[in-house]
Amino acid sequence: MLRDVASDVEKSYYDPQLHGVDWPTRVRQAKENIDKADSMDSAVSEIAALLDSLHDSHTRFFPPPRAYSHDYGFSMRMIGSDCYVTRVKPGSDAEKKGLKRGEIVSAVNEIHVSRQTLSRIEYIFGTLRPQPGLRLTLADDLATPRQLDVMAKVEPSKVIKYFLKQGANQFVRDWGDKVELLEPRFFEKGDLLVVRLPAFALPADEVDHLIGKMRSHKGVVLDLRGNPGGFVDTVDRLLGGLFQHEVKIADRMMRKEAKQLSLPGRHDAFVGRFAVLIDSESASASEIFARVVQLERRGFVIGDRSAGMVMEARTFPHELFVDGQVYFGANITDANLIMADGKSLENVGVEPDIVILPTARDIDARRDPAMAKAAGLVGSSLTAEEAGAAFKEEDK
């Protein structure tokens, strides 16, 4: 696995100089560490650490799928400079131990949580080294830290299920569920349309349908919070639906050439009032979309600073045969993107025009002040309580 992934990086990474990293030496060190590893988790972590040495948000190792999945029973997200618990799964050990929505997590397994570390923490304990449980360091209203040990629910992964009787049917059902989760959700109130887009993963005809639906309203709020990005074609087509004139998106800086990315105007573009919601989990294509809206002064960008993970990457899959097929691979960045203002969003993110951060009480009460503000800016009235209930069924 080390050999294949290291070779993919050397041949395909957008910067042939690899940011000055002595790649042969790094690869040799990783091999030596793998030879001394005392577990498979430790071994695959060496490959992940090798790719991490490039300090690139989109270059990441995908180890072989595991026989068991670990569900820690809660979700957390950076809001401003603090990490908040945003969901607690009913019936989970986390709920039984008293973990609440809106609590601040300052450390996970003694690792300090920040905007720089959260994605790594989730990658380590979710993908590389799943644990039987996590020790959370929490802060209450008086900022007094307390520790809480929450145990994971461990069960056979879908990879195992697919080999069991009716596995093919289970695969089809799971795939259908995954596709449904990526579909846009709509909330309408009078002339207001709120569109929650979980990812940029729509075919052209569905994007056109979405633009048509937007045209039937005077004000539209596009909710890209939690949207990790997606396909270039989807974001290009949706962005193009906002402008009647040609728009430059960015310059794509590739290994051997640079290319300007522009969109032609559409005569049937949506021309009404427009606002975009982003947060710390809005990444990649979401950030590009929001920044173009800002630079073109097409609408308002509201919420929290975005992830700062803006590159283009391709997936390089591999398989080995060791008592059966073993699948693994890596995402490898093949282009950097420089926005129309000459700046990169990588490790920077998009700063909203209007910063609105939900408080712990907002999270606990399911209020959404950012969406309420966005609705007002596009000409409609929506309370924070109404906004928080707009997609309540989906949040369940």
Mean pLDDT, rounded, for 152-161: 77
Mean pLDDT, rounded, for 30-55: 95
Percent of the chain's residues with pLDDT above 70 = 92
Q: What is the CATH number of domain 178-310+336-395?
A: 3.90.226.10
Distance CA 285, CA 310 (A): 7
- For residue 106 the two structure tokens come to 């300052």
Higher pLDDT, 325 or 172: 325
Question: Which secondary structure element, helix H or strand E, spans residue 240, and what is its range?
Answer: helix 232-240
Residue 98 burial (CB count, 10 A): 12
Q: Which amino acid type is present at position 111?
A: I
Q: For 75-88, give one letter per residue: b (16+ CB within 10 A) or e.
A: ebbbbeebbbbbbb
C-alpha distances (whole Å) from 209 to each of 59, 167, 177, 265 are: 33, 34, 21, 17
At 326, the pLDDT band (50, 70, 90 cuts) reads confident
- For residue 384 the two structure tokens come to 């924070």
Q: What is the pLDDT of residue 170?
A: 53
- Which of 146-160, 207-221, 294-308 has the weakest average pLDDT? 146-160
Indicate the average pLDDT of the chain.
Answer: 91
As beta bridge partners, residue 339 has: 250
Q: What is the pLDDT of residue 177?
A: 64
Mean pLDDT, rounded, for 113-128: 94
At 396, the pLDDT band (50, 70, 90 cuts) reads very low
Longest dimension (CA), the chain: 65
Distance CA 395, CA 87 (A): 9
Per residue in 182-197, pLDDT tens? 889 999 999 999 999 9
Give all strands (DSSP E) within 255-324, no chain letters.
Answer: 258-263, 273-278, 300-303, 311-321
Distance CA 108, CA 92 (A): 18
Per residue in 1-42, pLDDT tens? 999 999 999 999 999 999 999 999 999 999 999 999 999 899
Beta strand 68-71 pairing with 354-355: unpaired
- Fold match flag (68-156 vs 178-310+336-395): no
* pTM (two decimals): 0.89
Mean pLDDT, rounded, for 239-249: 95
At 142, the pLDDT band (50, 70, 90 cuts) reads low
Q: In this model, does residue 261 exceed pLDDT 80? A: yes
Q: What is the pLDDT of residue 19?
A: 94
Q: What is the pLDDT of residue 237?
A: 95
Mean pLDDT, rounded, for 120-125: 94
Distance CA 173, CA 43 (A): 34
Place of tokens 């609705």: 375
Domain boundaries defined on the chain: 2-55, 68-156, 178-310+336-395
Q: Which amino acid type is present at position 168?
A: A
| Beta carbons within 8 Å of 6's beta carbon, 6+ residues apart | 23, 27, 30, 50
Q: What is the dihedral of CA 49, 124, 326, 179, to 10 degrees?
A: -120
| CATH code 2.30.42.10 for 68-156 | yes
- For residue 192 the two structure tokens come to 């207001």
CB distance 72 to 134 below 8 Å: yes
